């Protein structure tokens, strides 16, 4: 089997995912196009050598619909022979795109591929694409469908995480993200987004609130209490799957959950041979990837199981991993994972995460993989494991190694 190497990773800054956000006036196509242009230009890429562009996107309707990957490759003036495919593994789509690109390279189906993702949540709101799971009684009832926020609160309740625990985690995320920006730790990956005139419109993650404190978070109302306890009453559904819970403790709110943002990312992956021939220098080796299904009602415990599955498959233990990155969908998801795997919190999400910087659904996986490529280099570490919790009860993970 061929080795797959990561040659480069770029991402846009994340704009607030609302009409007042800086990127709301930039199309999703443009976001995807700009990261494809950037990864081409800074590597002097002959795009005709790229076999496929795989982009994650979770609401592929409207301007994000009908295979935005192929359309973005065309819009970025990639060679006509470059194929494109849009994929959806909910929140892990961006990482899954990287894993698929690597799998194509390792299997010999491709010599070079781009994995990444795009999501303009301000322009194509989450849930725009419908879906049978919550709607069709055939599956909603038997799988105890509850929205992900309820699942996060169930995790907190089941494993005894208090409001103070999750808020403290959120404060730390903000602190780490602010520190990382201050020290320019994202510099290598960030490509400012340009407007229709080619002028920069956003050059930093605008969702961050570095001045967040326990006190400021304490003022926030829980986000999922209403839909849990009253209309339509999802807590009662969760309790049918988790009867050990007397009452769901609604601890999550806007300040300790991932932010809704716009953004895009791309990761260039290829064989050693082609990279050499093209004069590219690999930055990391793709060691392995995996996905797994987990209990769908609680939804967000997949990272624990996919982490174990992948390490097992790679014959590795916790000691083989230097840096751990789990998307901060909700604070309780990270805290539960840390305790389930037995991790040192100091090695987890060292540069903050989606609570501070936001979670552009389809792109996040590729973004945080890029963050780890940068961080391995900066901190002179060997290996990182990147994972995300996934809708409908799944987890996706990847291990990379610096070269």
Residue 152 touches another protein, criterion: CB under 8 A: no
Residue 386: strand pairing partners:
325, 398
Residue 62 touches another protein, criterion: CB under 8 A: no
Residue 244 touches another protein, criterion: CB under 8 A: yes
Give the total of residues touching another protein (CB under 8 A): 27
Q: How near is the Cβ of 306 to another protein at its closest, in Å? A: 20
Residue whose CB is less far from another protein, 151 or 263: 151
Q: Which one is catalytic: 207, 252, 253, 389?
A: 389
Q: Which one is catalytic: 57, 91, 252, 253?
A: 91
For the stretch 151-177, what's the b/e string if a residue is b when 16 or more beta carbons lie within 10 angstroms of its beta carbon?
bbbbbbbbeebebebbbbbbbbbbebb
Known active-site residue 57: no
Residue whose CB is less far from another protein, 99 or 146: 146
Helix (H) or strand (E) holding 334: helix 331-341
* Distance separating alpha carbons of residues 174 and 211, to the nearest angstrom: 8
Known active-site residue 91: yes
Q: Which string of DSSP letters, residue by residue, matches 38-82?
A: HHHHTTT--GGG--EEEEE-S--SGGGTTTHHHHHHHHTT--TT-
**Binding-residue pattern over the window 212 to 241 for another protein, x denoting contact by CB under 8 A:** -------------------xxxx-xx-xxx
* Distance separating alpha carbons of residues 390 and 396, to the nearest angstrom: 7
* Distance separating alpha carbons of residues 340 and 332, to the nearest angstrom: 12
Q: How near is the Cβ of 209 to another protein at its closest, in Å? A: 31
**Binding-residue pattern over the window 119 to 138 for another protein, x denoting contact by CB under 8 A:** -----------x---xxxxx
Closest C-alpha to 397, from 270, 305, 320: 305
Q: How near is the Cβ of 303 to another protein at its closest, in Å? A: 20
* Distance separating alpha carbons of residues 120 and 19, to the nearest angstrom: 11
Q: How near is the Cβ of 356 to another protein at its closest, in Å? A: 30
Is the CB of residue 388 less than 8 Å from the CB of residue 326? Answer: yes
Residue whose CB is less far from another protein, 61 or 403: 61
* Distance separating alpha carbons of residues 117 and 100, to the nearest angstrom: 12
Residue 246 touches another protein, criterion: CB under 8 A: yes
Please give the structure tokens belonging to residue 316.
């590795």
Residue 141 touches another protein, criterion: CB under 8 A: yes
CA dihedral 298, 300, 306, 308 (to 10 degrees): -80
Residue 342 touches another protein, criterion: CB under 8 A: no
Q: Which residues contact 226 (CB under 8 A, 6 or more apart)?
A: none
Q: How near is the Cβ of 240 to another protein at its closest, in Å? A: 6
Residue 142 touches another protein, criterion: CB under 8 A: yes
- Listed ranges 106-114, 144-152, 271-279, 384-392: which one lies at the site for another protein (CB under 8 A): 144-152
Residues that bind another protein (CB under 8 A): 130, 134-138, 140-142, 144-146, 231-234, 236-237, 239-247
Q: Which residues are catalytic?
A: 91, 359, 389
């Amino acid at each position: 089997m061929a080795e797959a190497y990561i040659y480069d990773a770029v991402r846009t800054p994340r704009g607030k995912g609302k009409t007042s956000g800086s990127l709301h006036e930039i199309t999703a196509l443009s976001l995807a196009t700009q990261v494809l242009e950037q990864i081409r230009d800074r590597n002097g890429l002959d795009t005709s050598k790229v076999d496929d562009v795989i982009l994650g996107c979770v609401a592929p309707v409207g301007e994000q619909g009908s295979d935005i990957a192929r359309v973005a490759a065309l819009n970025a003036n990639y060679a006509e022979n470059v194929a494109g495919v849009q994929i959806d593994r909910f929140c892990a789509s961006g990482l899954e795109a990287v894993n698929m690109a690597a799998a194509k390279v390792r299997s010999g189906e491709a010599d070079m591929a781009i994995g990444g993702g795009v999501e303009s949540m301000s322009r194509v709101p989450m849930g725009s694409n419908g879906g049978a799971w919550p709607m069709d009684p055939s599956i909603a009832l038997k799988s105890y469908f509850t929205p992900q926020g309820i699942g996060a609160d169930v995790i907190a309740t089941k494993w005894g995480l208090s409001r103070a625990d999750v808020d403290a985690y959120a404060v730390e995320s903000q602190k780490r993200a602010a520190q990382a920006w201050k020290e320019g730790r994202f510099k290598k990956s960030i490509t400012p987004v340009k407007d229709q005139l080619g002028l920069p419109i956003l050059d930093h993650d605008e969702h961050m609130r570095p001045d967040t404190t326990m006190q400021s978070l304490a003022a926030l109302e829980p986000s999922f209490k209403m839909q849990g306890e009253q209309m339509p009453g999802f807590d009662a559904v969760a309790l049918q799957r988790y009867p050990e819970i007397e009452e769901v403790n609604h601890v999550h709110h806007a300040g300790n959950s991932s932010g809704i943002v716009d953004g895009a990312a791309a990761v260039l992956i290829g064989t050693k041979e082609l990279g050499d021939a093209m004069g590219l220098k690999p930055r990391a080796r793709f060691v392995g990837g995996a996905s797994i299904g987990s209990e769908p009602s609680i939804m967000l415990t997949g990272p624990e199981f996919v982490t174990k599955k992948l390490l097992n498959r790679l014959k590795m233990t916790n000691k083989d991993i230097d840096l751990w990155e789990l998307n901060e969908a909700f604070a309780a998801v990270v805290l539960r994972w840390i305790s389930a795997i037995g991790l040192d919190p100091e090695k987890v999400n060292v540069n903050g995460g989606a609570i501070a910087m936001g979670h552009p659904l389809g792109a996040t996986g590729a973004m945080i993989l890029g963050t780890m490529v940068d961080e391995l280099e900066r901190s002179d570490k060997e290996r990182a494991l990147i994972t995300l919790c996934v809708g409908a009860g799944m987890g996706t993970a990847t291990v990379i190694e610096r070269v």
